[in-house]
A and B are shown apart, each in its own frame.
Chain A
Amino acid sequence: MELDLFISGIGGQGIQLVGKSLALAAIRDGRHVMLAGEYGGHMRGGSSVGTVVIGARPLKALPILPHAGSAIAMSHLFWARVGSRLRPGSLVLAEATIAADLPCMDKHILVTLPATAIATEQGSRMAAGMVMLGAYAALTGAVKIDSAVAAMAEQIPAYRRQHIDANERAIRAGAAAVTPLTYKVDFDAQEARVA
């Protein structure tokens, strides 16, 4: 199967960094990967959406996904365009403080996580996206946690290298904060399987 994911939030929350880290981690794990975004103007405070598809074989996914089976929600703003494209029974990993504002969650598997609070405990409030990355990886088995850490460090620009340690702590804290049993991806299966 192909694991498909929307990451939705506000420009400045590190949405694109989460997507890129996940994609690079999957490459490290030997997977096939597609990473797509919205190609209008990106700006702080505006909508930011990333799309990641991971598979064991060459991907069939379109660069604009009509539907996906999972999502990371960092904000309730701009959620509608992502929420309306989730297949019933999707995993939605949501920041705890905004989860109540996401509509139609009764159709999906909602996992909430106080990512901003956890990131703050780990020393960087800005690393909430990294907490979500670690949590998503642990929940789904999409990528190895060590691969996620290495992928984050690999792409961080030189002028931000001081954030690598806090980001790593955030990824590992996120992974530790969830129980990996609600939804597990089996890349070798022909169809999606929700345990």
Chain B
Amino acid sequence: MPMRLMDGSEAIVEAAIMAGLRFYAGYPMSPATELLEYMAEKLPHHDGVCINAATEIEGVNMALGAAAGGFRAASGSCGQGLALMQEAIAEAALNETPIVIFNMARNQQDYFQATRGGGWGDYRTITLAPKDLHEAVEHAQLAFHLADKYRVPVIFMGDNLLARTQMGTELPDLELEPLPEKDWQLDGTSGGSGMSRQIWTFGCGKTNNPGPGPSLHWERIATKFDAIAEVEARHEQGFVEDAETLVVAFGSGGKFVEHVVREMRADGHKVGYFRPITLWPFPGDALEAASHGCKRVLVFELNAGQMIDDVKLNVLDRKLVKAIGGVSFDESGLNLGPLMDAGVIRERIELAINGASK
């Protein structure tokens, strides 16, 4: 297949449709608006439906409904829009309905929102944070696979650089393991099909087919998330073997840090990088191993300090962990600010190294 020049939003939409996405409902919000526009343009050509909902709350609940019918369904916005969706995301986790939520974030202040969530219950959200368009088109497919595999909501965490940077891409079709039939899906049968389908958050069934009830149901959900955490953590690392300084960053920030670390290595610095690909499950064991023997672990994120909590939970001596990021927006408040810059990142890493040696 020849390469096509696409921005990230278009490439993500194409990849999601390749993965079987058939329903999208969202509300426009920069920089997630293009995602909705491409969905509206492309989904109808693939037996799909795209709805410009009246609110984010409406959009995500429409997606929940479509997913309950067995269709691959998604909603999306930026983090501010996802704030409104928290109840539905928690519901999806507790009633085991697979949906994908695209967060084309304005910045990186969405880390807690994605990894802790603001809904009720013992739930987590698998969160994929690609570093660039090429990884994003894989994650757009993987997100739906993981959602169906575990019957959970999955968050795809992008940003405005990912949404708008255009690249030549071939849209690889990911080979993923086959999944079982959705025997739980609502099929539209009225008057009773004779089969109880468990789509209720409390886990209660019918008189003639009682469910586990809330306590057992929620315990089973929590156990499921523990099992996911055991096997689905993903990360990328480089130059960690003899690194004195390890720099941790996610998403676009991870790509920038990798670039800077390669430059610094070429100049003889003992620096390594570690990038969580899944923000949840956080690749804690891998980070513990990668940071072994390091003199310092630096966390670069464009917020006041969110992922740094997970880093401190997993580096054996948390006193080695230092923040080198910060809040950084452009004037509009809609875009990444001047901190997302290779030169600035290098200065901050060097300052942390030199400051510590004095």
Contacts and interface: CB of A to CB of B under 8 A. Distances in A.
Chains A and B are bound partners: yes
Interface in B20-43: 31
B164 A39 contact: yes
Interface string A14-43: 000000100110110011111111011100
Contact of A33 (B134, B161, B167, B332): B167
Contact of A39 (B31, B252, B342): B31
B266 interface: no
A64 B161 contact: yes
Interface stretch (A54-62, A93-101, A103-111): A54-62
A24 B166 CA distance: 10
B165 to A, nearest CB: 4
B29 to A, nearest CB: 15
Interface string B323-345: 00000001110010000111100
Nearest to B132: A63
Interface string B240-253: 00000000000010
A23 B165 CA distance: 12
5 contacts: A33-B167, A36-B161, A37-B164, A40-B335, A63-B165
Contact of B332 (A41, A58, A60, A62): A41
Contact of A62 (B5, B164, B167, B259): B259
B88 to A, nearest CB: 29
- Interface size range of chain A in the complex: 20 to 34
Query: Which of A26, A30, A40, A66 has the most C-beta atoms of chain B within 10 angstroms of its own C-beta?
Result: A66
B166 A27 contact: no
Contacts of B4: 27
B164 A64 contact: no
A20 B167 CA distance: 11
Contact of B5 (A33, A40, A59): A33
Interface of B: 2-5, 31, 132, 134, 160-161, 164-168, 252, 255-256, 259, 330-332, 335, 340-343
Contacts of B165: 34-36, 63
Nearest to B342: A66
B335 A39 contact: yes
Nearest to B338: A64
B7 to A, nearest CB: 8
A35 B5 contact: yes
A66 B344 CA distance: 9
Contacts of B330: 39-40
Contacts of A34: 165-168
Contacts of A64: 161, 256, 340-342
B163 to A, nearest CB: 9
B167 A35 contact: yes
The 3 lowest CB-CB distance pairs between A and B, nearest first, are A66-B342, A35-B166, A63-B165
Contacts of A24: 5
B335 A63 contact: no
A78 to B, nearest CB: 15
A24 B2 CA distance: 12
B134 to A, nearest CB: 7
Given A32-B168, A40-B335, 16 more contacts: A24-B5, A26-B168, A31-B168, A33-B3, A33-B5, A34-B166, A34-B167, A39-B330, A39-B335, A40-B332, A58-B134, A62-B259, A64-B161, A64-B341, A64-B342, A66-B343
A35 B341 CA distance: 17
B134 A62 contact: no
A34 B161 CA distance: 12
